[in-house]
Chain A
Amino acid sequence: MQLHEFEGVLHAAQAGADWAWSRLHDAYAGRVLGYLRSRGAVDPEGLLGDVLLQVARNVGTFEGGESEFRSWLFLIAHNRVIDERRRRGRRPEQELREVHHPAVASAEHGAFENMSLDAAMEMLEVLTDEQREVLALRVIAGLSLEETAAIMDKNANAIKQLQHRAITSLRRKIPTSP
Chain B
Amino acid sequence: MADFNLSDDPLDGVFWESVMSDPALFSAITGLRDALSAPPREALRSIQIAAAADAAAAATPVVGAASADLIVGRPSFWARRTAIVSSLATGVFFKVAVGALALTTAGGGVAAAAGMLPGPAQAAAADTLQFIGLKIPHPDDLEEPIDDELDGPVVVPATVTTTATGDEPTTNSPMSDVEDDDDQGHDEPSITTTGPNDEDDDDQQSDDQSTPATTPDDEDDDDQGDEEPATTTTPNDDEDDDDRGDEEPATTTAPNDDDDGGADDDQGGDDEGNGGADDDQGGDDEGIAGADDDQGGDDQ
| A and B found bound together | yes
Residues of A within 8 A of B (CB): 11-18, 20-22, 24-26, 29-31, 33-35, 37-38, 45, 48-49, 52-53, 55-61, 105, 109-117, 119-120, 123-124, 135-136, 138-140, 142-147, 156, 160, 163-164, 167, 170-171, 173-177
Contact A112 B56, beta carbon cutoff 8 Å: no
**Chain A: interface secondary structure?**
helix
Contact A145 B8, beta carbon cutoff 8 Å: yes
**Chain B: interface secondary structure?**
helix
CB-defined contacts of A59 to chain B, threshold 8 Å: 56, 59
Contact A15 B28, beta carbon cutoff 8 Å: no
Residues of chain B in range 27-56 having any CB-CB distance to chain A below 8 Å = 27-41, 44-45, 47-56
CA A53 to CA B57, docked complex, whole Å: 11
How many B residues face the partner with a CB closer than 8 A? 53
Residues of B within 8 A of A (CB): 1, 3-5, 8-9, 11-12, 15, 19, 22-25, 27-41, 44-45, 47-60, 62-63, 66-68, 70-71, 74
- Could you list 21 examples of A-B contacts with CB < 8 Å? A11-B67, A12-B70, A14-B63, A16-B56, A18-B53, A25-B45, A29-B40, A30-B39, A33-B37, A35-B36, A38-B36, A45-B44, A53-B51, A56-B51, A58-B59, A59-B56, A115-B34, A135-B29, A138-B4, A139-B29, A160-B12
CB-defined contacts of A146 to chain B, threshold 8 Å: 8
Contact B22 A171, beta carbon cutoff 8 Å: yes
Contact A57 B60, beta carbon cutoff 8 Å: no
Contact B71 A16, beta carbon cutoff 8 Å: yes
Contact B56 A57, beta carbon cutoff 8 Å: yes
New A-B contacts (8) at CB < 8 Å, excluding given A109-B28, A115-B35, A170-B29:
A11-B66, A52-B48, A56-B51, A56-B52, A115-B32, A136-B36, A138-B4, A163-B15
